[in-house]
Amino acid sequence: MHRNTLPDKVLWLEPDRTPFAHSPPIVNTRMQHAHWLLRLLWEADAARDGLPPELDWDLLLHVARPNGVLVRTAERLAAQGVTVPDRFAAAVAQERQRIRSALELMRHVSLACEAHGITFLFPKAFQDYPDFGDDVDLLVLPRSARVDSAIVGALPATPVKRDLGERLAGATTYRVAACPTSLDVQHGRLGIVGEYAAFPSMLIQHARRSQIGGMEVAIPRIRSSFRACSGSRGASGSPFATSASPFPRCAAPRWIGTT
């Protein structure tokens, strides 16, 4: 599940948090910051002529981070020669460290699955790379949660109590010590209540190996996957959770509303 949420309400903030919050006219609301951030991510030279004088770095951070585009925002600003404030830079460094720990978790999980002959796939892990979602989504072909002992047995992992929806969906979440990113395991089915029983086999059958972040993992062929699932629920049907975030879903911006 991803953090891609963008509240509709406009937030008027007190002007005491940064030197950029002193003037209300142009870039002073969450939505206006979001619009400018979209332009920054979409247009290669959006910041070359300077930043909006009313830019609030704290507010920009609060838009970029929950929408899963913080690292890409920092990279785009750096590419255009923009020096960010220390607080913003520290948040980016912390996010990059979180992503490194998530990649390390994926490496351990991959090795465990391969060692125990468990067919698996990371269906959404790299659609935002170099950014990363709130959790590592792991799809395994076996429908029983008994395989989890082989997957997380060597990790300091604690299962999160499941609700009825997660039981129906065949999902189990694990918190891993010293890793701020949780592991979500889907067992042989996808969807809100596990209604996509055949889709996991198709995803895994057509998976590809990809080298990302210094490691090689199995990921789906994204376009064919979404075409396939759209046939069962209409043009927007998807076995994955959805959101209405307008932010680009990959390093080369594309407008995809499916997470």
Let me know whether 190 and 128 are in one domain.
Answer: yes
Let me know whether 53 and 133 are in one domain.
Answer: no
Let me know whether 139 and 156 are in one domain.
Answer: yes
Digit-coded pLDDT (tens) for 8-30: 333 333 333 444 444 344 445 88
Token digits for 4? 């891609």
Let me know whether 108 and 205 are in one domain.
Answer: yes
Which pLDDT belongs to residue 13? 35
pLDDT: is 152 or 24 the higher one?
A: 152
Let me know whether 43 and 133 are in one domain.
Answer: no
Q: Which domain holds residue 81?
A: 19-92
Let me know whether 185 and 71 are in one domain.
Answer: no
pLDDT: is 62 or 6 the higher one?
A: 62
Among 50-54, 177-181, 242-246, top mean pLDDT goes to: 177-181
Q: How many domains does the chain have?
A: 2
Let me know whether 28 and 132 are in one domain.
Answer: no
254 in a structural domain: no
Let me know whether 116 and 35 are in one domain.
Answer: no
Band (pLDDT 50/70/90 cuts) for residue 220 is confident
Q: Is the pLDDT assigned to residue 154 strictly greater than 60?
A: yes
pLDDT: is 116 or 222 the higher one?
A: 116
Band (pLDDT 50/70/90 cuts) for residue 204 is confident
Digit-coded pLDDT (tens) for 99-139: 999 999 999 999 999 999 999 999 887 888 899 999 999 99
Let me know whether 105 and 204 are in one domain.
Answer: yes
Let me know whether 70 and 182 are in one domain.
Answer: no
Let me know whether 121 and 188 are in one domain.
Answer: yes
3-state secondary structure the chain: CCCCCCCCCCCCCCCCCCHHHCCCCCCCCHHHHHHHHHHHHHCCCCCCCCCCCCCCHHHHHHHHCCCCCHHHHHHHHHHCCCCCCHHHHHHHHHHHHHHHHHHHHHHHHHHHHHHCCCCEECCCCCCCCCCCCCEEEEEECCCCHHHHHHHHCCCCEEECCCCHHHHHHCEEEEEECCEEEEEEEEECCECCCCCECCHHHHHHHCCEEEEECCEEEEECCHHHHHHHHHHHHCCCCCCCCECCCCCCCCCCCCCCCEC
Let me know whether 119 and 169 are in one domain.
Answer: yes
The CATH code of the domain that includes 195 is 3.30.460.40
Question: pTM here?
Answer: 0.74
